[in-house]
Amino acid sequence: MQPLVLASSSPYRRELLTRLRQPFTWSAPAVDETPHPGENAENLVRRLAESKARALSEAHPHHLIIGSDQVAVLGEQILGKPHDFTRAHRQLVAASGTSVTFITGLAVLNSATGDCQIDAIPFTVHFRQLSDEQINRYLEAEQPYDCAGSFKAEGLGVSLFRATEGEDATSLVGLPLIRLVSMLNNQGVSIP
Q: Which of 69, 84, 132, 146 is catalytic?
A: 69
| pLDDT recorded at residue 141 | 97
Closest CA to 184 of 26, 16, 52, 22: 22
In the residue annotation, 146 being an active-site residue is answered as no
**Which residue stretches of 19-150 are H helix?**
41-55, 85-95, 132-142
Distances (CA, A) of 2 to 23, 25, 55: 10, 12, 18
| pLDDT recorded at residue 154 | 85
**Each residue of 106-143: pLDDT tens digit?**
999 999 999 999 999 999 999 999 999 999 999 999 99
Identify the segments of the chain with pLDDT beneath 50. Answer: none
Contacts of 190 (CB under 8 A, 6+ apart): none
CATH number of 4-186: 3.90.950.10
| pLDDT recorded at residue 1 | 79
| pLDDT recorded at residue 117 | 98
